[in-house]
Amino acid sequence: MLQKQVIAYDSTLRDGAQAQGVSFSVEDKLKIVKKLDELGIGYIEAGNPGSNPKDLAFFERVGELTLQHAKIIAFGSTRRIGIAVEEDKNIQSLLSANTQAVAIFGKSWDYQVTDILRTTLEENLAMIGDTIAYLKAQGKEVTFDAEHFFDGYKANPEYAFATLTAAANAGADVLALCDTNGGTFPNEIFEITQRAVAQFPHTQIGIHCHNDCEMAVANSVAAVQAGATQVQGTMNGIGERCGNANLVSIIPNVQLKLGVDCIPAQHMTTLAAAARFVSEIANMPFNEKAPYVGHDAFAHKGGMHIDAVNKNPISYEHINPSQVGNERHILVSEVAGRGALLKKLQQIEPSLTKDSADTIRVLEQLKALEHDGYQFEGAESSFDLLMHKLLGKFEPFFSLKQYNVSIFEPSADGLNSSATIHVNVNGKDATATAQGDGPVNALDKAMRKALTDCYPAINEIKLVDYKVRVLDSSQATAAKVRVIIESTDQQQSWTTIGVSSDIIEASWLALKDALEVKLLTDLQVKSV
C-alpha cells in the first residue's frame, strides 16, 4: 500500500544553479523561494553558505521572509578527513546560515572513498556519523544525501548500507538515496529503495536522481512506489550535465496519477505558472513540449484528433489541463480540418457554419499561406489577425507606403543601421527615421516613432523573442525565411509571424502584426 504523503524537496537554487549558463543573483534566489513556497514545496535547498559570499548573503536575507510551507535547507558536506567536526569551518558555516534544516552529503561508494577522497572506509563512516550527530545536537533537522548510493550499492552493497546505518544511528531524519551519475534503471531503483525502506523503518527514505539516461522522473516515481517519502529534484529539471529529476513532472505524476499528496491540492493549478516563472528568472528558454505544463502538452493539430477532443477531451488528453494550470490549444493548420477552423472563426463571427462560404475561403487561404511557409500554430495572434481581416472585421490602423533600411559598418556607438519609414495614419502621411543595433531594431524604432503620436499604447510593447528559420536551405541565401516574434505589454504576450525571401520584409510583417494585435486588443477591451 502506498504512503499517503511524499515531501517535495527542491534543489533548483543549489543543484539547478550548477547547470551551464545558469547564475542566480541573491534577488533571483529570493524571488524563486517565494514562488516555490507559494507552490507548496516542502523543502528548498538553497545553497552552501560556506562556498561563496553570494550564498552567505542569501541566507542572511532569506531569514527575513515569512514562508507558509517551505523550510530552507543549507547544504554542505561531512567534516573533512582527520578534523574534529567542531573545528571544521564548513560545518560552522552551515550553522551560521541559521536554517531549521540542513542537508549533508557523504560518500556511499567505496571507490569514491578510497580513490577520490583518499581515506579509509572506516574514516568515511566516522565522518558521516560525527557530522550528523553534531548537527542534531545543535537542534537541526538533517537530511543525509548518500552520494553515488546506487553505484555504490551495485559495487559493494554492504558498504553502501553501512553508510546509511552510520547516518541513521547518528540521528539523520532522512536518508536520501542519490543516483548521482544518473545511470540506474527504474527497476533497480525500485528494488534497492524497497530494501532501504525495509531496513530503516523508523527513518524517512528520500530519492535524488539525475537525468543522464533520460530516466530521472521515472526513477523518482519508482522510488516513491517503493516507499520513499521525500523526492528531490529541480524546477524544469535544470542541473549539471543532463539535469536533475524534474519536479514539475514528478509532482503531478505522484499526486494526480498515484494519488499520493505532494503539494497542497489547491496549489496544483499554479504549477504551470511556477515552471514558467523559474525558467524566466533562470534566463532559459521554456520547453513548450514539457509534459503537463508546456504549451504543446495539450495542443491538438490533426483533424481527427481535434474532432475527437471536441467530443470528449479524454480521447487524447490524459488529464484535464486546468488541473495543472495549463489550457487546451486547438491548432489551426492545413491538417486541422474545417471543424477546427470553425471553432476559431465562430469566436469572431458566431453565425458561421462548417459549410459557410467564408469558412471555406479562410481554409483555402490558410492552406495557401502554409504552402508558402507560414506556420500559424506557432503564431496564433497573427492567425487571429488574419481571420479578422478575411472576415471584414478589421479596420486598418495604418498603411505602409514605403520603408528603407541601410546598414553601415564599422558601426558608430554600436548602432550600425538606419531605417526610414513612410506610413499613412488616419489619412495623413507620417515619416520617421531611426538608428538601431541591426536593421530590424532600426525598423522597429522608426515604426514606433512614426505611429506613437496617434497610438501611444505601442510604447507599452516590448519585444521578448525573435526567431528566424530558413525554410529551404538548398536555395542558399535566396531561401525563404520564417520570422517569429514574441511581444508583451506586461499584461499579456502574443506571437506573430512573417515569411519572405527577404529577412527584413519577413521581420517587417511580423513587427507590423505585433503592433496591430496590440491595437486591436486594446480596441476590443474598450468596446466591452
What whole-number distance in Å separates Cα of residue 486 and Cα of residue 429? 28
Contact residues for 12 (Cβ-Cβ < 8 A; gap 6+): 32, 36, 44, 234, 235, 238, 278
Q: Are 61 and 30 in contact (CB under 8 A)?
A: yes
CA 281 vs CA 284, 353, 458, 486: distances in Å? 8, 45, 26, 18
**Residue 51, SS3 per DSSP:** coil
pLDDT for the residue 337: 54
What whole-number distance in Å separates Cα of residue 498 and Cα of residue 504? 10
Q: Are 7 and 233 in contact (CB under 8 A)?
A: no
Report which of 253, 194, 191 is spatially closest to residue 221, judged by C-alpha positions: 253
Which phi and psi (to 5°) does residue 59 adopt?
-65, -30
Burial (CB count within 10 angstroms: exposed 0-12, middle 13-18, buried 19+), residue 339: middle
pLDDT for the residue 328: 84
Grid cell for residue 298: 495539450
**Residue 428, SS3 per DSSP:** strand
Contact residues for 397 (Cβ-Cβ < 8 A; gap 6+): 425, 451, 455, 515, 516, 519, 520
pLDDT for the residue 114: 96
Report which of 267, 272, 215, 247 is spatially closest to residue 10, judged by C-alpha positions: 247
Question: Who wins on pLDDT, 332 or 189?
Answer: 189
Instruction: Please provide the DSSP assignment of 326-361 as one string.
Output: ---EE--STTT-HHHHHHHHHTT-TT--TT-HHHHH
pTM of the model: 0.72
Q: Are 133 and 104 in contact (CB under 8 A)?
A: no
* Cis ω for the linkage preceding 350 (within 30 of 0): no
Instruction: Please provide the DSSP assignment of 239-254 as one string.
Output: -STT-B-BHHHHHHII
pLDDT for the residue 56: 82
Quick: pLDDT tens for 486-512.
888 877 888 899 999 899 999 999 999
pLDDT for the residue 284: 85
Grid cell for residue 433: 527615421
| Beta-bridge partner residues of 420 | 404, 433
pLDDT for the residue 221: 98
> 175 falls in which pLDDT band (50, 70, 90)?
very high
pLDDT for the residue 310: 75
| Beta-bridge partner residues of 427 | none
Average pLDDT, the chain: 90
What whole-number distance in Å separates Cα of residue 132 and Cα of residue 139? 11
What whole-number distance in Å separates Cα of residue 340 and Cα of residue 332? 7
**Residue 19, SS3 per DSSP:** coil
pLDDT for the residue 259: 96
Q: Are strands 428-436 and 462-470 parallel, antiparallel or unpaired?
A: unpaired
* Domain architecture of the chain: domains with CATH: 7-281 (3.20.20.70), 295-384 (4.10.430.20), 399-527 (3.30.160.270)
Q: Which of 154-158, 283-287, 329-333, 452-456 has the highest mean pLDDT?
A: 154-158
What whole-number distance in Å separates Cα of residue 495 and Cα of residue 290? 19
**Residue 470, SS3 per DSSP:** strand
- Per DSSP, which regions of 155-314 are E strands? 174-179, 204-209, 230-233, 299-300
Q: Are 296 and 54 in contact (CB under 8 A)?
A: no
Report the range of poorest mean pLDDT among 152-161, 203-212, 322-331, 453-462.
Answer: 322-331
